[in-house]
Amino acid sequence: MTSGGDSPGMNAAIRSMVKVSAARGVRVMGVIDGYDGLIDGVFRELTAFSPGSPMGLAAATEVDLLGNEGGTLLGSARCARFREKEWRTRAAGNLRGIDGLLVVGGNGSLTGAHLLAQECATLVVGIPASIDNDIGCTGMALGVDTALNTIVESCDRITDTARSHKRVFVIEVMGRQSGYLAMASAVAAGADGVLLREQGRSEETIVDSVAAMIRAGITSDRARRRILIIKAEGVEVPCTRLVRLVQERLVTDMPTLEIRGTVLGHLVRGGRPSYQDRMIAGRLSLAAVDALLEGVTDTMLAWMAPVPGGTPTSDPAVSRFSLARVLEETDALLDGTSVVTRWRLQTLNALEGALGL
């Protein structure tokens, strides 16, 4: 099952999971449209009878064909009904006779998986998938690398026109609660500044810092023909308002300066998954199948875990964490108490003076 916001690599995870399972003689069903499909009992066959295969099963043709595509062939949704016990009981009833459930999704999806694991007999295992990279206990979630590649390419294209016309661009990227995409892409794209929710700045402070950044870049000895500032979606000042306020702040001494805002929005979610997302999807899926066949439940597979306490697997880059621990660390990641969030902010502070050099 894929659930919550889609991310590039979900189809690659489905393909890998189905192929590995089929090679071991395990039949796989797909749940349509996340927890909504689980509640309504909407499943589809993902394996096919194949007399030429050693175990008599193979991946269905569509699974193979769409494995390289973005989005999710199973569909996805955010399901408010699943928060209520009566609907989870109905979902659990639809899982009777099914040995294990693999949930591919983000924080809300893994929260649902944790609840389900405690309330039904079916084994439940999760794989982290979120372009925001806002899931605890994993160094990378599915979709992050592809999203970053999309952002960096977009910034490079905008830089071409910004240099041609000596303009300032404020580019907003996704990340309501986590500024990871903004931070990582700012470094990769050579941006002059980055704005994150985690910095906790007021609107006035943000406008002051952006205006100062622009003045420094344009009036320095090496006056730049482009100024690029990347803003996370979670920063409460909307992109268009920020552009207007900064323009008003600079109109007296820089009357001809043009500041443009660009919101990349859902463009960042789309596209075929990168090599790294496909590779991570494959290795996490293999470990997920192993976990289910070993009888493990209420667990998430993590990639290059940045925190201790995971259970090793046969893959040195993959470890298992209880979903309770994952959700606890996710909360800490988002409220700023996690050592991972603190490290990110310390790194950003160290880079802040260097980004515009």
Spell out the residues 6+ positions from residue 296 whose beta carbon is closer than 8 angstroms to its own. 123, 125, 320
pLDDT over 90, % of the chain: 84
H/E segment holding residue 282: helix 275-293
> Which among 6, 33, 36, 132 is annotated as catalytic?
132
Give dist(CA 157, CA 106) in Å, integer: 30
Contact 159, 228 (CB under 8 A): yes
Asked if pLDDT for residue 356 goes beyond 70, the answer is no
Structure confidence by residue, pLDDT tens digits, 181-224 = 999 999 999 999 999 998 889 999 999 999 998 988 887 655 67
Contact 230, 158 (CB under 8 A): no
Structure confidence by residue, pLDDT tens digits, 41-65 = 999 999 999 988 889 999 999 998 8
Asked about 132 being catalytic, the answer comes back as: yes
* Span 292-320, average pLDDT: 97
Instruction: Return the sign of the alpha-carbon dihedral for residues 317, 107, 26, 98.
Output: positive
Structure confidence by residue, pLDDT tens digits, 67-77 = 899 999 999 99
Matching residue, tokens 């990168």? 274
146-269: same fold as 10-143+273-335? yes
pLDDT of 53? 87
Selection from 126, 122, 125 nearest residue 97 by Cα: 122
Give dist(CA 84, CA 82) in Å, integer: 5
Domain ranges of the chain: 10-143+273-335, 146-269
Give dist(CA 141, CA 107) in Å, integer: 11
Q: What is the DSSP letter of 252?
A: T
Mean pLDDT lowest among 129-143, 214-228, 316-330: 214-228
315 three-class SS: coil
Structure tokens at 136: 């605890």
pLDDT of 52? 86
Cα-based distances in Å from 174 to 5, 141, 281:
12, 15, 22
What DSSP string runs through 179-207? -HHHHHHHHHHT-SEEE-GGG---HHHHH
Give dist(CA 270, CA 267) in Å, integer: 6
Q: What is the DSSP letter of 121?
A: S
Contact 10, 53 (CB under 8 A): no
pLDDT of 137? 98
CATH topology of domain 146-269: Rossmann fold (3.40.50)
pLDDT of 220? 64
Contact 81, 36 (CB under 8 A): yes
pLDDT of 357? 39
* Span 278-285, average pLDDT: 98
pLDDT of 219? 74
| CATH class, range 10-143+273-335 | alpha beta
Q: In terms of DSSP bridges, do strands 57-59 and 100-105 run parallel, antiparallel, or are they unpaired?
A: unpaired
pLDDT of 223? 65
pLDDT of 199? 87
Selection from 264, 254, 243 nearest residue 153 by Cα: 264
Give dist(CA 129, CA 107) in Å, integer: 9
Q: What angle do CA 353, 354, 356 make, to 5 degrees?
A: 90
Q: What average pLDDT is seen over the chain?
A: 94
- pLDDT category at 104 given cuts 50, 70, 90 is very high
Q: Where are the beta strands (DSSP E) in 34-98?
A: 43-45, 47-49, 57-59
Mean pLDDT lowest among 54-58, 280-284, 288-292, 345-349: 345-349
Give dist(CA 229, CA 259) in Å, integer: 11
Matching residue, tokens 């985690």? 198
Structure tokens at 15: 């393909």
Give dist(CA 303, CA 126) in Å, integer: 12
CB atoms within 10 A of CB 86: 9
Task: Determine the residue type at 5.
Answer: G
